[in-house]
Amino acid sequence: MFTGIIQAQGYIKRIDVRNGDWRLTVAVGELDMTDVAMGDSIATQGVCLTAVEFNANEFVADVSAETLKVTTLGDLKIGSKVNLEKALRLQDRLGGHLVSGHVDGVGLVKTISQDARSWRYLIEAPVEIARYIAHKGSVCINGVSLTVNQVSGCEFDVNIVPHTREKTTIREWQVGSRLNLEVDLLARYLERLISGPNAEGEKQAKPAVITETLLAQAGYL
């Protein structure tokens, strides 16, 4: 688990293509590697990767063909900058929100505009996950925990303050940039809970209508 609070910016140092999947070598920048152990998870652009080799300056991780297909990691090149976060410890502050590092879909930057000293990004989410993105809810984008300002259909916008833009790869986003999106864990589990008896046949069942009664029965009210 992660928090979506970026600890360092690294870059892709090496890409080895191996029978359809990749082995990445990631230079970690200022990320403190002194407490990292073999097999630890490090979120890279919001994707949970397992360190199979590491030293103070870099780590190596295997990326499956499936991960390359459903995330933007396949877009990376030598020198591409990446957001990095080590796995959450139980005694750590939860400054963002609970993030699994399992990307739900790839979004697209539609517009970028200045908003006083901040920047506002309009992002289009895939239709299959758009329903999990809520006004003033949390969303993880390229590993960064962000608050949703407004939602309209499959589009939502986020406001980025100068500090966040400077300390992450967000400053490199352009119109058309592809982004890793992970929706709030609670939203997915809530939908599963309220589906109740329909869970086994959910492929045929109609989506449950969320009502106060259903929320109360699930223990949320």
Per residue in 86-108, pLDDT (tens digit) is 999 877 777 888 899 999 999 99
Query: Where exactly does CATH 2.40.30.20 map onto the chain?
Result: 8-86, 105-185
Write down the pTM of the prediction: 0.86
- Element (H or E) spanning 86, and its range? strand 81-86
| Measured distance CA(21)–CA(39) in Å, rounded | 19
* Residue 176 tokens, joined: 């058309």
Condensed to tens digits (0 to 9), the pLDDT of residues 136-172 reads: 999 999 999 999 999 999 999 999 999 999 999 999 9
Residue 72, pLDDT above cutoff 50? yes
| Measured distance CA(85)–CA(143) in Å, rounded | 8
Residue 221, pLDDT above cutoff 70? no
Q: Could you write out the DSSP letters of every residue in 37-74?
A: -TT-EEEETTEEEE-SEE-SSEEEEEE-HHHHHHSSGG
Average pLDDT, the chain: 90
pLDDT band at residue 204 using 50, 70 and 90 as cut-offs: very low
Residue 202, pLDDT above cutoff 70? no
More confident residue, 208 or 11: 11
Residue 94 near residue 88, CB atoms below 8 Å: yes
Q: What is the pLDDT of residue 214?
A: 63
What topology does CATH give the domain 8-86?
A: Elongation Factor Tu (Ef-tu); domain 3 (2.40.30)
Question: 4-13, 92-101, 121-130, 173-182: lowest mean pLDDT where?
Answer: 92-101
Question: 39-43, 54-58, 163-167, 216-220: lowest mean pLDDT where?
Answer: 216-220
Residue 38, pLDDT above cutoff 60? yes
Q: Could you write out the DSSP letters of every residue in 104-172?
A: -EEEEEEEEEEETTEEEEEEEPPHHHHTT--TT-EEEETTEEEEEEEEETTEEEEEE-HHHHHHSGGGG
What topology does CATH give the domain 105-185?
A: Elongation Factor Tu (Ef-tu); domain 3 (2.40.30)
pLDDT band at residue 212 using 50, 70 and 90 as cut-offs: low
